[in-house]
Amino acid sequence: MGGSHHQKFVILRHDEGPERDVAFVGGIDLCHSRRDDAAHEGDPQPAPMPGVYGPRPPWHDVQVAIQGPAVAQVEQVFCERWEDPAPETRDPLRRLRDRLGRLDDAPPLPRPGPPPPRTGHHHVQLLRTYPARRGGYPFAPEGERSIAHAYRKVLARAGKLIYLEDQYLWSTDVIEPFARALEREPELRMVVVVPRHPDQDGWLAGPASLIGRVDALRRLLTAGGDRVAVYDLENHQGTPVYVHAKVCVVDDVWATVGSDNVNLRSWTYDSELSCAVLDEREDPRPPAGGRRFARDLRLSLMGEHLDLPADRLDELCDPVAAFETFARSARDLESWHENGREGSRPPGRLRPHPAPRLSHAQKLMALPLYRLAVDPDGRPPALRRTRGF
pLDDT grade for 205, boundaries at 50, 70 and 90 = low
Pick from 99-108, 136-145, 179-188 the range whose average pLDDT is largest: 179-188
Per residue in 22-73, pLDDT tens? 999 999 999 999 999 999 999 999 999 999 999 999 999 999 999 999 999 9
What are the respective helix, strand and coil percentages of the chain, to the nearest 5?
35, 20, 45
Q: Read off the pLDDT of residues 360-384 as tens digits, 9 standing for 90 and up.
A: 888 888 888 888 888 899 999 999 9
CATH topology for the 9-386 domain: Endonuclease; Chain A (3.30.870)
User: What's the pLDDT tens digit per position in 224-270?
Assistant: 999 999 999 999 999 999 999 999 999 999 999 999 999 999 999 99
- Is the model's pLDDT at 300 over the cut of 90? yes
Exposed, middle or buried, 228 (CB in 10 Å: 0-12/13-18/19+)? buried
Domain coordinates of the chain in residue numbers?
9-386
Q: Which residues pair with 23 in a beta bridge?
A: 11, 66
Angle between helices 205-224 and 360-369 (to 10 degrees): 100
- The per-residue pLDDT for 72 is 97
* pLDDT score recorded for residue 298: 98
pLDDT for the residue 204 = 63
**With helix as H, strand as E and coil as C, how does 313-343 read?**
HHHHCCHHHHHHHHHHHHHHHHHHHHCCCCC
Contact 245/165 with Cβ under 8 angstroms? yes
Alpha helices (runs of H) in the chain, residue ranges in sequence order: 70-82, 92-100, 146-155, 172-184, 205-224, 264, 292-306, 319-338, 360-369, 381-386
pLDDT surpassing 70 at residue 309: yes
Q: Given a cut of 80, is residue 90 above it in pLDDT?
A: no
